Amino acid sequence: MTDKRLEKFSMGIGDRFGHQGRAQLRAMQAARAEGIEIVPVWNKSFREHSIIGTRPADVRAEADAAVSAMGWKHSYYVDADHINFKNVESFIDCSDFFTLDVAEEIGHPAESKEMEAFVRSCRDFLGTLTIPGIERPFVISEKTLEAAAAKYLFAVQQAGRIYRHLAGKKGTGTFITEVSMDETDSPQTPVELLLILSAIAREGIPAQTIAPKFTGRFNKGVDYVGNLEQFEKEFNEDLAVIAFAVKEFGLPGNLKLSVHSGSDKFSIYGPIRRAIHRFGAGLHLKTAGTTWLEELIGLAEAGGEGLAIAKEVYAKALENRQALCAPYATVIDIDAAQLPAPKVVDQWDGKRFAAALRHNPRCPDYNPHFRQLLHVGYKVAAQMGRRFTDALERFEEEIAKHVSANLLERHIRPVFGKGA
């Protein structure tokens, strides 16, 4: 059997309640008709499972069912997203993609002997290092190497331990491995990325995707906040670093960046598209949460019971704001003063509710605070139980239309499409 190899373009899609698999596949089928070939990766983290009360096996069942219903003939994957040693067990049987999250281990020093050995192994890079595709040479000192070892070596070793545990249980080559370090405070520079990749290769992790933390803020459900020029420069440099590292360290030839977008980072989509086309690089884009918000938009626009549910989700989310926001503290930025009172929202019709929620920065009714709160408010819908999922079924047609169009028009075309 040949090793599982992730395609050039892939997308981490989401399905909080397991109902939008078909609508998301429909967007990818439409993209294929336009010559944009993407494969889907259903991703759901341990955090999301615990909040909703689903199990990893549910995602596998849902993905299989959607694929067969839609006659999807291409690859698809189920990602154990952001797992670590403590919570990986329940994902092992039903996942074939594992995102090893070692952000928490960043900054824990490794054994000093091992740090010394790592620094020694990187000595060739001392001085000025020129990487094809990057104009400025990097200056790398002994200090640079020591700092990277102190910050990242232990985290990569931890990824190695999880990887070997998985390989022991599932067999080498039977799953895709991603290493993620995005949920941390400080971004990784291109030089740090290079040294992290060197450590990953030394650990023997056949990483096919790597998720660094990029410069700027990636708040949930809303656009990028940060210096666009710097983002574009570093993103291009990261791609050059990856191409270099693949050759230099013998990492898998399809190794690519994984962008954990937190949904809807519209303003960096153009820079990302230009960069991947310029380098002929692949890309994995995770944008799961955007679909749950389209469910709410579809419910609101359906009116009647759909709109009533959408309003209730908001009112309850507002009531439980602190608790809902806590697990996402580092990735949201909500100004409570900008959140409308439930009695104001009660007056809204479906169009007005949808306009406040829909991510259209040009629409004067769009409210990013409202949107972020609802983005993290899915627990409220989960607590509604059958009432919520019955509504998803009853209004499926209206909802699916929004889910597919959102994915195709606002995400797939802008990121993967041909144009300049």
**Chain residues that interact with Zn ion, rule: CB under 5 A:** 182, 260
Q: Closest distance between Zn ion and the C-beta of residue 82, in Å?
A: 6
Residue nearest Zn ion (C-beta atom):
260
- Our CB check for Zn ion shows the closer of 48 and 182 to be 182
Residue 219: partners with Cβ closer than 8 Å, 6 or more residues away:
225, 262, 331, 332, 333, 372
Closest CA to 294 of 237, 360, 240: 360
Shortest distance in whole angstroms from residue 184 CB to Zn ion: 10
Task: Give the nearest distance from C-beta 180 to Zn ion in angstroms.
Answer: 6
Tokens of 170: 């599932």
In this complex, which beta carbon is closest to Zn ion, that of residue 180 or of residue 404? 180
For β-strands 127-129 and 138-140, DSSP reports them as antiparallel
Helices assigned H by DSSP within 320-377: 321-325, 342-346, 350-357, 368-375
* Shortest distance in whole angstroms from residue 41 CB to Zn ion: 13
Choice between 31 and 415, CB closer to Zn ion: 415
If the CB atoms of residues 182 and 238 are measured against Zn ion, the closer one turns out to be: 182
Q: In 224-353, which ranges are E strands?
A: 256-260, 283-286
DSSP string, 323-334: HHHGGGGGG---
| Cα-Cα-Cα-Cα dihedral sign, residues 279, 280, 282, 287 | positive
Nearer to Zn ion, 100 or 119 (CB): 100
Cα distances from 329 to residues 185, 235, 258, 332, in angstroms, run 12, 25, 22, 6
Residue 45 or residue 236: which is nearer to Zn ion going by CB?
45
> How far is the CA of 170 from the CAs of 173, 202, 374, in angstroms?
9, 21, 37
Closest to Zn ion by CB, 207 or 399: 207
Tokens 């700092």 sit at which residue?
Answer: 147
Minimum separation from the CB atom of position 206 to Zn ion (A): 20
Least distance in Å: CB of 179 to Zn ion?
Answer: 11
**Residue 183 CB, nearest approach to Zn ion (Å):** 6
